Amino acid sequence: MENFDICVIGGGPAGYVAALKSALNGMKIAIIEKDKLGGTCLNRGCIPTKVLYSKAKFLNSLKSGVSGFHIDKYNYNYEDIISYKDEVVSTLVSGVSKLLKARNVSIFNGTACIISAPDKKNNISGVIKIVAKIQENNNNNNNNNNNINDKNSELEISASNIIVATGSSPAMIPVFHIDHNNIITSDEILNIKSVPKNIAIIGAGVIGCEFANIFNEFGSKVTMLELLPAILSTEDKEISKFTNKILVSKDIEIKTSIEVDNISADGKGAIVSLKTGEKINAEKVLVSIGRTLNTNNLGLKEIGVELDFKGKIKTDVHNETNIAGIYACGDIIDGPMLAHKASYDGIIASENIAGRKIEKQYSILPWSIYVNPPIGTVGLKEGDKELENIKYRVGRFSYGANGMALAMEEKEGFLKVLTEEKTGKIIGATGIGADMPELIAEITAIMHFNGTIKDAEFTIHSHPTLSEIVPEAVLDSIGEAIHKYNPRMVKK
């Protein structure tokens, strides 16, 4: 049985990053993936949706017009867009594979199950069984370096450490009768070959809103059905309302506080029956009501790995589970289900296995939602429990007062920053507007270095850029934004 320093289960952003980092740390690594490397993010999530998003955004500029241009005719071919999306995905997936191979990581294509846990005290490795297609990298640098065995065979390997990074899948509930044809999840919607005339989206969270924006731009009549009273209910209330207004202005129908009774497919599409008795017909129904954890059939229960009350794997600050030598990363542990958080988790596990005691810290974790214009957030936001004991100020700056935004015809949106009254530290920011996720990246860096209002003010920003919105919003929290009229500050 071949022995490894680390066996990584799952080849998504948590797993493959842990493998790449651990290989840099000089470890002998095996990575087991039952589907394609890159996981949800590369194959069915972040990346393919961003291809569709950017095409939809381009279409929006053509439709809504750009000052000075008269575009008489334009057309698009959705199948070509899907082909381009597939091309981007396969480029990135093969990039991950090449990187792993270049670092001598052994790639196994199969389903893993932990047979026994490592016994650190007695220096005994854990054993992992791999079932199904076995694709092992023999580290040659030619194109046939994967010894693919398509037989339904089994293989056992052993490892001193195991990193579980198996991610999550779209949540399904029986009465929604997901048939993967007309009633679909975010996995299937990325591969439909034509734009549906109309689409009903169940769940107006992150995935629901991103697809509502995309299919609305491509011409579908979109209806969103949300159980809670607001869309994007976990975001800042102002952002949720602003996004709602934008989506409605684009003719997306949003029904909140509704309960779906059941969904049934008919010949041409599907019918969504609401508890009120109302029925909604749609060519496609997208169910985006959250995600479930891929923690079954991994042998976790059998070897005694502890789960929390939500079914997530319990880990300490080093991402180690209750069993020494077994680590877990990504969607299956605490924290939000985000690709970059998963990769961060992978690095934390990898560094701790290498003996560097690094503690994870999720308090300065940015995230983005790609509606048009996009949303970005980092740290605390108004309404968060943690703010109850902190005296803070709010600063705002609007895109309409930024030269670059006007030049780009992107005057819609605002950035809102929270600063702590006592220290002047920036403790959170959220906003919606062109390139907002990039603006949030700057604030994330300032927060990472414990930056204050003065740090933002004295960081020189190139002009003209959208980034000038950052110091303006930060300074506005003390009434000192340069390009904002504030009657209180004018000395008579």
Q: Which residues bind ligand NAI (CB under 6 A)?
A: 202-208, 210, 225-228, 233, 260, 288-291, 336-338, 367-370
Least Cβ distance, residue 133 to ligand NAI (angstroms): 28
CB of 147 to ligand NAI, least distance (A): 35
Other beta carbons within 10 Å of 356: 11
Least distance in Å: CB of 480 to ligand NAI?
A: 33
Distance CA 232, CA 212 (A): 12
For the chain, give me the number of helices (H) and strands (E)?
A: 13, 24
In the complex, least distance from residue 248 CB atom to ligand NAI, rounded to whole angstroms: 17
Question: Tokens at residue 92, please?
Answer: 């990135």
- Contact (Cβ atoms closer than 8 angstroms) between residue 200 and residue 213: no
Residue nearest to ligand NAI (CB): 205
CA separation, residue 301 to residues 117, 249, 274, 294 (Å): 11, 49, 38, 13
Q: Of 202 and 347, which has the nearer Cβ to ligand NAI?
A: 202
Cβ count within 10 A of residue 269: 19
Nearer to ligand NAI, 210 or 468 (CB): 210
Whether 463 is catalytic: yes
**Least distance in Å: CB of 70 to ligand NAI?**
35
Which residue lies nearer to ligand NAI by CB, 106 or 368? 368
- Whole-number Å distance between alpha carbons of 467 and 211: 27
**Taken in order 211, 213, 214, 215, is the CA torsion positive or negative?**
positive
Nearer to ligand NAI, 162 or 260 (CB): 260
Q: Which residue, 210 or 420, has its beta carbon nearer to ligand NAI?
A: 210
Between vectors from CA 167 to CA 361 and to CA 30, what angle results, nearest 5°?
A: 95
**Tokens, residue 129:** 């069984």
Smallest distance from ligand NAI to CB 285, Å: 11
Identify the active-site residue in 70, 340, 461, 463: 463
Nearer to ligand NAI (CB atom), residue 304 or residue 336:
336
Positive or negative, the CA dihedral 345, 347, 349, 355 is negative
Question: What's the length of the chain?
Answer: 492
Whole-angstrom Cα distance, residue 1 to residue 375?
49
Give the residues across from 129 on adjacent strands. Answer: 113, 156
Q: Cβ(277)–Cβ(284) under 8 Å?
A: no
Helix axes 13-24, 78-102, angle to 10 degrees: 30
Active site residues: 463
